[in-house]
Amino acid sequence: MEATNLSTTAVLRSLNGPDPTVMLVAKSELAFCSHARQLTNAGFAEVFGLTGGHREWLGGGAADFATSIIIPVRPSPNDLRAVGRTVEIVRAAKKPFLFVLNQINSTARITLQASGALSKHGPVAETAVASRVGFAVSMTDGRTAAELEPNSKSAAEIADLWREIAGLLTEGKGA
């Protein structure tokens, strides 16, 4: 199932077995809240809010509709400065969250520094997502890197990240 309009994209996928997972990418707070409410009413146990540090609309109520918040952060001074407001919003909403380092260069010192800085404010995923061409190419038509190249490093990173997130949920630690 795929539903797309100008304000929201919801993609239903089977990631790990028969239970579907919905990826809800909303371009506005109103769209996210509306669709998250529909998903919850339809019986979905988990609704993730995926937001960058600059997504101020998360504070207007969208965090209330998510069961967990995933915060991708690039290891850059701009993202590290911006993420503070998102953390305040998520903590005020009393939602579990997880930082995910995104678009990393594994040999850059700033990657390790960013992980250390973020860990002072909340949990950081062990799996980091590297800056790979496969991610950029997959965005041209809405597919994932795993759909384009199932055996790629990009696909493996996302699979590892999903296993980590699912494991945290299963352990009851939140995401």
**Does 120 reside within a domain?**
yes
Q: What is the pLDDT of residues 120-173, one digit of tens each?
A: 999 999 999 888 887 788 777 777 788 888 898 988 998 899 888 887 776 655
H-state helical runs in 67-174: 77-92, 109-119, 133-138, 145-148, 153-170
Q: Find the CATH number of the domain harbouring 92.
A: 3.40.50.300
Q: What is the pLDDT of residues 28-41, one digit of tens each?
A: 666 767 777 777 77
**Does 156 reside within a domain?**
no
**Does 175 reside within a domain?**
no
Q: How many domains does the chain have?
A: 1
DSSP 28: S
For residue 101, give its domain range.
Answer: 2-133
- Can you point out the beta strands (E) in 6-146? 8-14, 20-26, 48-50, 68-73, 97-104, 129-130
**CA pair distance 75, 106, nearest whole angstrom:** 10
- Residue 143 exposure: Cα atoms within 13 Å on the Cβ side: 12
**Does 142 reside within a domain?**
no
